[in-house]
Amino acid sequence: MSARQRWKGYHEVVLSVLIPAYNEGPTVDALAERLAEVPLKLEIIAVNDGSTDDTGARLDALQKCGKIHNVIHHVRNRGKGAAIRTAISAATGDIMVVQDADLEYDPTELPDLMAPILDGRADAVFGSRFLGGPHRVLFFWHMVGNRLLTLLSNMLTDLNLTDMETCYKMVRSDVMKRLPLRSDRFGFEPELTARLAQAKARIYEMQISYSGRTYAEGKKIDWKDGVAALWHILRFNLIRPPFG
């Protein structure tokens, strides 16, 4: 596809941005402002996953002024995977992408991630934090853990990903909606990867930037989630439910 054809595609294709949000009051307004700068047709769907701070009220205010198109509230906290599945069910765009509300990932890179899908080369695109893009220097053991989890996932999926745990997973909507996703919490990342591999989806990886948070700044995932991820990788790759 020529650059002109791709640019036309950017303006015709609707990208559904799926935002799971749990106690992200300090960042949701800034995220909405960044998304407003993205030169794409966006359908922005935010799921307030039982937050105990002012996240829900802030999201409602953003919807009222048109900066977010659809806000859905979970009465209780059900987990990131459950919030994303709720957003998937509500999405109507041509392509979907998960966007965490914590500003660790930069929405201005979304047009670049779309290119392999618009060119017809990919059904899904993963934005990798480990392909040399600029990133905030933080936790060594987090990096080691991510790479070990990616290695185990690759061994079972027969993929050669560098960053299975990345938030930025962009998938054609017709593919995403037929995947049998069940995970409620952080197991969503290995589950989606396994299901895409089982569906024989064409997956591309592209370099992205990354501005990670410290725990003092609100980072939620910890070593227990890493241990749980080992189990999730095994069960989602060894147990294959029927596809829609």
pLDDT tens-place string over residues 180-225: 999 988 789 999 999 999 999 999 999 998 875 444 444 556 557 6
Instruction: Give the bridge partners for 38, in sequence order.
Output: none
DSSP, residue by residue, 166-196: -S-EEEEHHHHTTS-----STTHHHHHHHHH
For the chain, give the mean pLDDT. Answer: 88
Pure H helices in the chain: 3-12, 25-36, 55-64, 80-90, 110-118, 140-157, 173-176, 188-198, 223-238
* Strand partners for 73: 48
Higher local confidence (pLDDT), 241 or 35 = 35
- Cα–Cα distance between 109 and 135 in angstroms, integer? 14
Tens digit of each residue's pLDDT (9 = 90 or more) over 1-32:
555 556 557 778 999 999 999 999 999 999 99
**pLDDT above 80 for 37:** yes
67: tokens are: 């900066």
What's CA 191's distance to the chain center, in Å? 12
Q: For residue range 53-103, what is the model confidence (pLDDT) as tens digits?
A: 999 999 999 999 999 999 999 999 999 999 999 999 999 999 999 999 988
> How confident is the model at residue 228, as a pLDDT?
78
Residues 130 and 209: their CA atoms lie apart, in Å, by 9
| Residues forming a β-bridge with 98 | 18
pLDDT of residue 215: 42
Which residues fall within 8 angstroms of residue 75, CB to CB, at 6 or more apart? 50
Decide if pLDDT at 238 tops 70. Answer: yes
Query: How does DSSP classify residue 108?
Result: G
CATH fold for domain 3-238: Spore Coat Polysaccharide Biosynthesis Protein SpsA; Chain A (3.90.550)
The first and second tokens of residue 12, run together, are 């015709």
Contacts of residue 164, Cβ cutoff 8 Å, sequence gap at least 6: 126, 146, 149, 150, 153, 154, 189, 190, 193
Provide the pLDDT confidence category of residue 243 given band limits of 50, 70 and 90.
confident
Residue 33 has pLDDT above 80, yes or no: yes
Tell me which residue of 191, 115, 88, 109 sits closest to 149, measured CA to CA. Answer: 191
Report the alpha-carbon distance of residue 20 to residue 78 in Å, rounded: 11
How far apart are alpha carbons 145 and 86 in whole angstroms? 28
